[in-house]
Amino acid sequence: MTDSPSTPLDQAKALLDELIEAARTGAIIPVRLPGQLEAIQTALNQISSNPVSIETPSAAAEEIPDHAELLKEQAYFVSHAVHELRTPMTSIRGYADMLASGAMGAVNDMQKQFIETIRANSKRMESLLTDVSDTAKIRGGTLRVQPKMDMFKNIAMNVEKQMRPVAESLNRSLVIDIPQGLPILNVDGELLVKALCKLVENGLRYSGENGEVRLSASAEGNQLTITVQDNGIGMTPAEISQLGTIYF
């Protein structure tokens, strides 16, 4: 005597085997095997309503690296890589400065253009390396903020000093509108200058020919509002929704 299948899965398999054998021998399945398809459906429904429990390791048991710790390690790695990349860039820029000064002999006009291109791109690369390093530090929570008392006028003057040559090279107008009587700030001036320079430079590059970028500030009580405004192409709603997204 053959034991009958004990589980719904075994029953379904046995019924399928019987159907396959009937088809192989040429039997007419609806006549020779009445109700078999319905029986298979019932067996499979039982499996669906009573799924087999499979033990899996709990999330708590798995060793998941701490996200904050990973970001700190990433910041350390990026900082080290940036340091290694800065070393050759410093040499390239230093030798280019030496050539431009004429210390290694006279250079013709075409050579001067080549040297200026090297100097400009070396400076740009150093700026990009700093941005990459700062971004990694911000994400890893390791960026050092050193606030101190300062006047916004001093910060605005530093921004103008760095951005005025960019504005002139692009034939753009840079307006600095800082009124008297603004409150004293307790801020990391270097980081604020860097952030404002990024905004001003972006405005200068995308304002179009004869465009204007205005850096202004206003105060209400002890609150200072800083505005960077341009007459450029603007941003779409989709682009605005991405503001603050890394590498956008």
**Any idea where the domains of the chain sit in the sequence?**
8-49, 67-139, 148-240
Cβ(151)–Cβ(184) below 8 Å = yes
Q: Is the pLDDT at 156 greater than 80, yes or no?
A: yes
Provide the pLDDT confidence category of residue 30 given band limits of 50, 70 and 90: very low
Percent with pLDDT over 70 in the chain: 72
- Rounded to an integer, what distance in angstroms lies between the CA atom of residue 149 and that of residue 170? 34
Q: What is the pLDDT of residue 130?
A: 84
Domain 148-240 has CATH 3.30.565.10: yes
Q: What is the pLDDT of residue 35?
A: 53
Q: What is the pLDDT of residue 93?
A: 85
Of 21-35, 129-143, 149-163, 171-185, the range with the lowest mean pLDDT is 21-35
3-state secondary structure of 223: strand
Cβ(179)–Cβ(206) below 8 Å = no
Find, among 43, 45, 48, the residue nearest to 17 by Cα: 43
Tens digit of each residue's pLDDT (9 = 90 or more) over 53-82: 445 555 444 555 677 777 777 777 777 777
Of 10-14, 142-146, 147-151, the range with the lowest mean pLDDT is 10-14
Q: What is the mean pLDDT of the chain?
A: 78
- Rounded to an integer, what distance in angstroms lies between the CA atom of residue 74 and that of residue 64? 16
Cβ(173)–Cβ(189) below 8 Å = no
